[in-house]
């Protein structure tokens, strides 16, 4: 196969440094930390999209705006912090593929840092100096939204490019020597993948907004109704559209890939369709919560089902990446990498991760109590 020959020709040699833990453990830690990263990331991106949409349409309720503005500085910090670990594990395991892809898009990858910094400043300016911004307020949050979407788009480019190394030489030959923006725009799965991510972020944002509305219902019933109604609508609407986009994302892959998930492999089929079924039940319970006089139990049930859906769908994405790498970079084999376990460091990482998760849970509880106990939604 031409693609496999191209990948074998240009793929760099593996790092001479041995892996610090067995491959199965590093892959598990990559998966777990990535799933932990998904919740704050989706809250950040989804909240920014809804807030920017509200500024443009002038149809965002004040309780919704205050809720989003109140949590965004927190979730952005969580997004960046929780994103470090999965990125490091990805680089350790797939450095032969990841680093060439990142270097190839050059300035587009470097600008991720600039976009993060400017987007973060914009969020703080909007949250802390909204009145002073005046008529520029909307443009500031729209700018931050565009910058964070750019970050996500750049990451999607690198991930798709590292899974299709046969494209490296073509992109390098077609480069503009003065720019080096070698984005993987001709990859057919890139835009469906990006749209799938955006809709998922909006859906998760909507559901957690519904949950927040259920929590504050006793303090401010009218504001809570607006939050529950709007949050459930965003969740259900984005999820239903995402079924179509997800199908497009799956079937834009080669037949050998998508057949794996429609009966070609039992585990992969269970991952995909189990996630779909869980999301359907999540929609049902979210809608029941919207109509129920006591929305908290069905909304919590919907949230649990949605978290399980995220786990299943993360498993699907990891499986797709493994299949693509096996197809287009057959010389890349994790099982053949040298391993010299450094158990002290691994145990320390797991211990500190658990301690950190405990502190995060405590901070979230305190944050939720301060929201419920304040007049922020009134």
pLDDT digits (tens, 9 = 90+) for 63-103: 898 899 988 988 998 999 899 999 999 999 998 899 988 98
CB 286 within 8 A of CB 304: no
Counted residue by residue, the chain has a size of 378
Which pLDDT score, from 0 to 100, does residue 252 have? 94
Ranked by mean pLDDT, the top range of 157-171, 221-235, 240-254 is 240-254
372 confidence band (pLDDT: 50, 70, 90):
low
Q: In the prediction, which pLDDT does 377 show?
A: 43
* Token pair for 368: 């939720």
Considering Cα of 335, then 337, then 343, then 344, what sign does the dihedral take? negative
Distances (CA, A) of 151 to 109, 163, 214, 306: 9, 19, 32, 24
Span 285-301, average pLDDT: 90
Q: Where are the domains of the chain?
A: 2-334+341-368
This prediction's pTM: 0.88
Token digits of residue 35: 């799933």
Q: How many CB atoms lie within 10 A of CB 255?
A: 9
C-alpha span between 301 and 105 (Å, rounded): 42
Q: Give residue-wise pLDDT tens across range 107-166.
A: 889 999 999 999 999 999 988 877 787 778 889 999 999 999 999 999 999 999 999 888
Distance, CA of 172 to CA of 247 (rounded, Å): 31
Angle between helices 190-215 and 221-251 (to 10 degrees): 160
pLDDT over 70 at 10, yes or no: no
Q: Give the single-character DSSP code of 148.
A: H
Q: Are 295 and 210 in contact (CB under 8 A)?
A: yes
**Kind plus residue range of the DSSP H or E element containing 164:** none
């Amino acid at each position: 196969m031409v693609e496999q020959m191209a990948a074998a020709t240009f793929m760099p040699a593996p790092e001479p440094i041995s892996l610090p833990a067995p491959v199965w453990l590093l892959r598990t830690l990559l998966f777990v930390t990535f799933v932990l990263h998904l919740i704050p990331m989706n809250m950040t991106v989804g909240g920014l999209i809804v807030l920017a949409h509200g500024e443009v349409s002038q149809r965002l309720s004040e309780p919704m705006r205050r809720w989003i503005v109140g949590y965004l500085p927190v979730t952005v910090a969580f997004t960046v912090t929780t994103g470090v670990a999965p990125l490091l594990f990805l680089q350790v395991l797939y450095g032969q593929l990841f680093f060439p892809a990142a270097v190839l898009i050059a300035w587009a990858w470097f600008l991720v840092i600039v976009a993060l910094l400017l987007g973060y400043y914009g969020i703080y300016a909007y949250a802390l100096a909204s009145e002073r911004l005046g008529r520029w307020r909307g443009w500031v949050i729209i700018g931050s939204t565009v910058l964070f979407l750019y970050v996500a788009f750049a990451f999607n480019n690198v991930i798709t490019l590292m899974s299709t190394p046969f494209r490296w030489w073509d992109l390098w030959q077609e480069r503009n020597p003065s720019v080096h923006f070698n984005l993987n725009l001709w990859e057919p799965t890139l835009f469906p993948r990006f749209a799938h991510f955006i809709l998922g972020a909006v859906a998760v944002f909507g559901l957690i907004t519904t949950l927040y509305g259920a929590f504050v219902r006793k303090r401010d019933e009218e504001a809570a109704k607006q939050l529950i109604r709007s949050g459930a609508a965003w969740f259900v609407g984005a999820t239903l559209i995402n079924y179509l986009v997800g199908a497009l994302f799956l079937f834009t892959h080669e037949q050998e890939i998508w057949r794996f998930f429609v009966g070609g492999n039992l585990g992969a089929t269970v991952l995909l369709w189990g996630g779909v079924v869980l999301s359907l039940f999540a929609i049902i319970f979210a809608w029941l919560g919207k109509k129920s006089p006591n929305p908290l139990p069905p909304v919590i049930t919907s949230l649990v089902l949605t978290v399980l859906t995220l786990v299943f769908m993360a498993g699907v994405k990891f499986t797709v990446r493994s299949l693509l790498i096996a197809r287009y970079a057959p010389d890349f084999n994790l099982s053949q990498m040298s391993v010299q376990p450094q158990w002290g460091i691994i145990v320390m990482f797991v211990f500190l991760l658990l301690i950190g998760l405990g502190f995060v849970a405590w901070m979230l509880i305190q944050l939720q109590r301060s929201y419920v106990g304040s007049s922020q939604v009134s």
